[in-house]
Amino acid sequence: MSIFYEVRREYELSDLTEADLTQSPFELFESWLKQAMEIKQISDPTAMIVATVDEEGQAFQRTVLMKAVDDESLTFYTNQNSRKGQHLQQNPKVSAIFPWLAAERQVLFSGVVEKLSEHENDAYFASRPFTSQIAALASHQSEVIKDRQTLEKHYHKLLEKYQGKDVPRPLNWGGYKIKAHEVEFWQGGEFRLHDRFRYFKKQNNWQVERLQP
């Protein structure tokens, strides 16, 4: 067994006080996101870890890229026949966390997903690079495959087939909005006394409370 008792550091970059809070958690989130995008050590500031649960209650996590944010939701895209898509079909409850470790910050969203419209899916798919469109068409996400060579052979076949043409969006490929009912902001603090604030919906209005670290 390996022991990592001594792997630790102090958190002292910043703090989060009541004066920093905004009326909507999405306003504060977008402010933090803008700052994260300016930190070179954060290579994927829009990356979030999304957790879902299967029919047996087993939790699964994976990293996806957030592609849009508005005043009540986050948007991401995926193959809706994938494992995460199957989980969300039977249980729309979801959580997503942005682990901005270089900024000593995390933001956790809890809520439910809603599928985007076909028009929204088509519009975003058309904006993707050609090779990304082909990759989405080539991969039957989460399904077992013999080896990588089989996948690459299929990818290159499609690459040649659609060169110079419009790539059709797979009908099972699309987006979800995470409609949040709770958002927690975590800012690392000295002496492990981290600052935590939780926004939650009450009678359709955002309330906020400080949590102990």
Instruction: Give the residue from 105, 109, 46 showing the smallest Cα distance to 77.
Output: 46
Is 198 annotated as contributing to ligand binding? no
pLDDT at 105: 98
Angle between helices 130-138 and 148-161 (to 10 degrees): 130
User: Alpha helix (H) ranges present in 37-162?
Assistant: 83-90, 118-127, 130-138, 148-161
Structure tokens at 52: 């879902």
Is 192 annotated as contributing to ligand binding? yes
pLDDT at 178: 98
For residue 52, list its beta bridge partners. 60
Is 194 annotated as contributing to ligand binding? yes
- Show me where the domains of the chain are located: 18-34+41-117+172-211
**Residue 3: what residue type?**
I
Q: How far apart are the first and last CA of the chain?
A: 29
Q: On the CB side of 133, how many CA atoms lie within 13 Å of its CA?
A: 22
Helix (H) or strand (E) segment spanning residue 202: strand 195-202
pLDDT at 75: 98
Are 114 and 177 contacting, i.e. CB atoms less than 8 angstroms apart?
A: yes
Q: Please identify which of the residues 105, 169, 192, 198 carries the catalytic annotation.
A: 192
* Record: fold of 18-34+41-117+172-211: Pnp Oxidase; Chain A (2.30.110)
Annotated active-site residue 192? The verdict is: yes
Q: On the CB side of 42, how many CA atoms lie within 13 Å of its CA?
A: 21
Instruction: Give the residue from 57, 112, 88 showing the smallest Cα distance to 172.
Output: 88
Structure tokens at 161: 């087939």
Structure tokens at 3: 């022991």
pLDDT at 22: 98
pLDDT tens-place values along the chain, 213 residues long:
999 999 999 999 999 999 999 999 999 999 999 999 999 999 999 999 999 999 999 999 999 999 999 999 999 999 999 999 999 999 999 999 999 999 999 999 999 999 999 999 999 999 999 999 999 999 999 888 999 999 999 999 999 999 999 999 999 999 999 999 999 999 999 999 999 999 999 999 999 999 999
Is 196 annotated as contributing to ligand binding? yes
The Cα–Cα gap between 8 and 11 comes to 10
Helix (H) or strand (E) segment spanning residue 138: helix 130-138
